[in-house]
Chains A and B, each alone.
Chain A
């Protein structure tokens, strides 16, 4: 089986200008949405409390919201999580409420709303682990179960946001330095612009749809950054090779050739990774939902951006044979500005 039966180089770069304009517009739109709508940050960043409760039957979200609002913990968010029986409650940090007690009080109120009361019970799981937990009503037929709770102090949140920004900057700087060292500054700039484009677009999606931006999503974004730079690296590798092999081709033709000869690998690789990510999206449950979603968007845009954005920017920056191949061009002297002068691969 061979999916890609390409007779001659596809003139990708002929459409580069149009596509780059589209890219620029998408990019601007993403920036616009991030600026205007902002991100729906998870409590890991903002601080606050998250409580996940499970009901035996489909939960009455309205009633839960009323019960929670009656406690006056500030602006709460109540929504279904994964299934109709699970409910997620988010509460902001409030100076006047002791955070440590919020979970117990909310659960208590929810339990009372079901006409029962909370008591701590010692029980042994079927695996033989002994567990003590607050139980609403009688064990086995609880009207509401506390599945998970999380409280993050505001100082932790702001630190995480700062560390996330540092991680992003370190990744960008590291990749740029590596590309500049391995190839040439034009590629380094092109590669990073293309991949930031992916990052901004993922974040733009999260801003537009107001999906929850959590630490896991941040990890996904950074993983995408590293991953889609791969893509550009593979193409740049080929560009260098083609410059060396085909002396008569213009830079534009060289880039077209490089993309054409790697397109099959690009699509198969991304397809494979995408299969894994889709599997995570389908089977990973609500915890991995947005993580997988961010990866999916990142991978799809990664294909596009490395072909049309990275290569095109390298072309606009005027990448030449002399930049990459020692003595390969008409001028036999090495470019004094080329950090890769003399590098042989």
Chain B
């Protein structure tokens, strides 16, 4: 009766193997590395950077463990810190010929020492939270009210333009908070205007009313449109923050949405809150100007002459210089949206821009007067400008919907749209929570957390082995597997380990032993009541299971409640706690049973089990037997 079919042993073996593979990367520690990432929003770093870095290192004679591309940065790992610093200097000189205007950020970093074979099966170590690593944490609140007001403001302009274009006379348009009021003298115009507005501005809902002698239409953003505005605002702010934080050269920044209107920014390694705040609070600006196509300008661009009066020299994306007029036609404030898409006629990749009413009017005038000329869209960051794109104006463009197309790939169109959108923050943000943790304190926290788990585990293991003998050893092994699986699962989902997380691991292990105590006590009780060893093992496990299930469900209820309502550190605690309960069900019941079955299962005439002394009230004890 105490035998497992082969497939059950297979499951146990697979669980053990998977547990080992995914836990291993956490044990290797970290090695010095150099990270190369893009220093400009307009510059995208691709896998082609790998051979460049390799070449540079080969020329400088610095041996690297490996150079690899990981999505948006290239990392090279080195054996020692000395090599790392030398490599940083060499790569920095090769990639950034002009140190005052670096295109790439070359930063010192740490990468896991775990072998490539493990990384290949997506086995990566857990990221360490700020409390274990040191760094800065910001929680920022996005001002949604102002995002909505901004939208209402731009809609007000749109309404004005629409009504004027259709020659519908109104008696005044005003914005009151997030509402737009349009007054009319007669009903006919009102109806015509209402039909037009409903058709052209689907985001607004309209209510009729009267104001003295005038008729009035009050427009308000539809709830779903308002929600969309808010979602876009948070997304855009996150994108902007990403771009800015990249410049800090922070190893692994975390920028995430939390709740509806909050953004968490975590910058490991940064200790200087003032500088961090300065950078994430900065604004980038967008400008539209005309390109100077004159012969002098062409000569100046080629470097053969002075820059003509009233123009400036900028570098186009891809490196070609361009002479651009100083006069600014439009700024990013007039841009309400930018989306990637396709040209309807040529099916080429394009970026669709939406301008607000004022921008649309100016744009219409400028394009009418400059057909056939080039227009440049510039992005200014850190006081330096760069030409994002410089398309040729084909026709007069009215209506505020602009399409930029030509010689763009889909990826470029996506990037440009993102860039144009993320030039500035969609809505202001306020820091509502801030935390800095020194790196030495982080290291201390790791040691403390590790020690608590280790000593606690050792104490429990020692006690179990002494009190329950062989069954205690099985229980300890099951508990060890629980730890292994828990760490493996956390690594698999790439959870961030924090001190409360470590505390949860310790606590969960302390609670998980309960299942084995229940089982062992039940087996003893069965033996005490005179059951044969094999029956006692079987009944012990069977009868204890219902209780184990019950008790784990109640613990899980508390864990899930914490997960649902907790935030920040409590959430980390709850995630580990819940996962630990689930893994403990597997390890404590199935794995320990597997061990017992493997050990005792084949012995047909089992005389006794090694579960410690079983005392019987009717005199005499069954001595411990192996």
Q: Chain A residues in contact with chain B, CB under 8 A?
A: 1-3, 5-8, 52, 99-100, 103-104, 120, 124-134, 145-153, 155-156, 159-160, 163-164, 166-168, 170-171, 174-175, 178-179, 182, 215-216, 218-219, 222-223, 225-227, 229-230, 233-234, 237, 261, 264-265, 268-269, 271-280, 282-285, 287-288, 291-292, 295, 345
Contacts and interface: CB of A to CB of B under 8 A. Distances in A.
B566 A275 contact: no
A173 B100 CA distance: 62
B510 A272 contact: yes
Contact of A280 (B249, B452, B517): B452
Nearest to B250: A130
A222 B562 contact: yes
A284 to B, nearest CB: 4
A1 B437 contact: no
A105 to B, nearest CB: 11
B32 A127 contact: yes
B139 interface: yes
Contacts of B441: 52, 147-148
A179 B550 CA distance: 9
Given A130-B108, A167-B561, A216-B573, A2 B613 contact: yes
B455 to A, nearest CB: 4
B81 A128 contact: yes
13 contacts: A120-B274, A130-B269, A149-B435, A160-B567, A174-B561, A216-B569, A227-B558, A230-B555, A234-B547, A237-B547, A265-B518, A277-B456, A287-B448
Interface of B: 30, 32-33, 81, 84-85, 107-110, 131, 134, 139, 141, 249, 251, 269-275, 277, 431-441, 444-445, 448-449, 451-453, 455-457, 459-460, 463-464, 466-467, 499-500, 503, 506-507, 509-511, 513-514, 517-518, 521, 524-525, 546-547, 550-551, 553-562, 564-570, 573-574, 577, 612-615, 617, 621
Contacts of B109: 128-129
Given A128-B81, A149-B434, A215-B570, A170 B564 contact: yes
Given A131-B439, A132-B270, A153-B433, A219 B566 contact: yes
Given A128-B84, A223-B507, A288-B503, A171 B271 contact: no
B433 A152 contact: yes
Given A103-B436, A145-B438, A276-B510, A223 B448 contact: no
B436 A149 contact: yes
A283 B451 CA distance: 6
Given A178-B553, A268-B517, A284 B559 contact: no
Given A129-B108, A171-B561, A275-B456, A155 B273 contact: no
Contact of B550 (A145, A148, A182, A223): A182
B438 A6 contact: no
Contacts of A225: 558
A174 B560 CA distance: 10
B251 A230 contact: no
Contacts of A175: 554, 557-558
Contacts of B507: 223, 273, 276-277, 280, 295
Contacts of B451: 279, 283-284
Contact of A164 (B85, B518, B565): B565
A234 to B, nearest CB: 5
Given A129-B109, A229-B554, A276-B506, 17 more contacts: A2-B612, A125-B439, A134-B274, A147-B438, A167-B566, A171-B561, A171-B562, A222-B562, A226-B556, A233-B554, A272-B510, A272-B514, A273-B511, A276-B457, A276-B509, A277-B507, A287-B499
Contacts of A8: 617
Contacts of B457: 276
A134 B612 CA distance: 60
A268 B562 CA distance: 27
Given A152-B433, A282-B455, A129 B514 contact: no
A212 B14 CA distance: 45
A148 B439 CA distance: 9
Nearest to A133: B271
Nearest 10 pairs between A and B by C-beta? A226-B558, A133-B271, A276-B510, A128-B32, A279-B456, A153-B432, A230-B551, A276-B456, A167-B565, A174-B557
A230 B569 contact: no
Given A131-B134, A234-B551, A279 B438 contact: no
Contacts of A182: 550
B500 A219 contact: yes
A114 B521 CA distance: 62
A269 B566 contact: no
Q: Which of B81, B449, B554 has the most CB of A within 10 A?
A: B554
* Secondary structure type dominating chain B contacts: helix
A222 B108 contact: no
Q: Which of A52, A152, A219, A271 has the most CB of B within 10 A?
A: A219
Given A1-B612, A279-B506, A273 B513 contact: yes
Contact of B81 (A126, A151, A265, A277): A126
Contacts of B453: 279
Nearest to A216: B500
A131 B269 contact: yes
A174 B555 CA distance: 10
Contacts of B555: 223, 226-227, 229-230
Contacts of B566: 163, 167, 215, 219
A184 to B, nearest CB: 14
A288 B448 contact: yes
Contacts of B559: 223, 226
Contacts of B554: 175, 178-179, 226, 229-230, 233
A342 B565 CA distance: 36
A219 B431 CA distance: 25
Contact of B445 (A127, A149, A274, A287): A287
A144 to B, nearest CB: 12
B269 A129 contact: yes
A172 B459 CA distance: 32
Contacts of A292: 503
Contact of B431 (A100, A163, A226): A100
B248 to A, nearest CB: 9
B63 to A, nearest CB: 16
A107 to B, nearest CB: 10
A240 to B, nearest CB: 10
Nearest to A275: B459
A164 B444 CA distance: 29
A279 B452 contact: yes
A88 B86 CA distance: 40
B269 A148 contact: no
Contacts of A285: 444-445, 448
Given A167-B561, A279-B456, A1 B466 contact: yes
B562 A167 contact: yes
Contacts of A170: 561, 564-565
A129 B110 contact: yes
A227 B512 CA distance: 10
Contacts of A125: 439
A265 B548 CA distance: 12
Contacts of B466: 1
B372 to A, nearest CB: 50
Contact of A269 (B455, B518, B558, B612): B518
Contacts of A128: 32-33, 81, 84-85, 108-110
Nearest to A86: B441
A278 to B, nearest CB: 8
B513 A269 contact: yes
A156 B569 CA distance: 14
Contacts of A273: 507, 510-511, 513-514
Nearest to B259: A159
A68 to B, nearest CB: 18
B467 A1 contact: yes
Contacts of A163: 565-567
A95 to B, nearest CB: 14
Contacts of A275: 456, 459-460, 463, 510
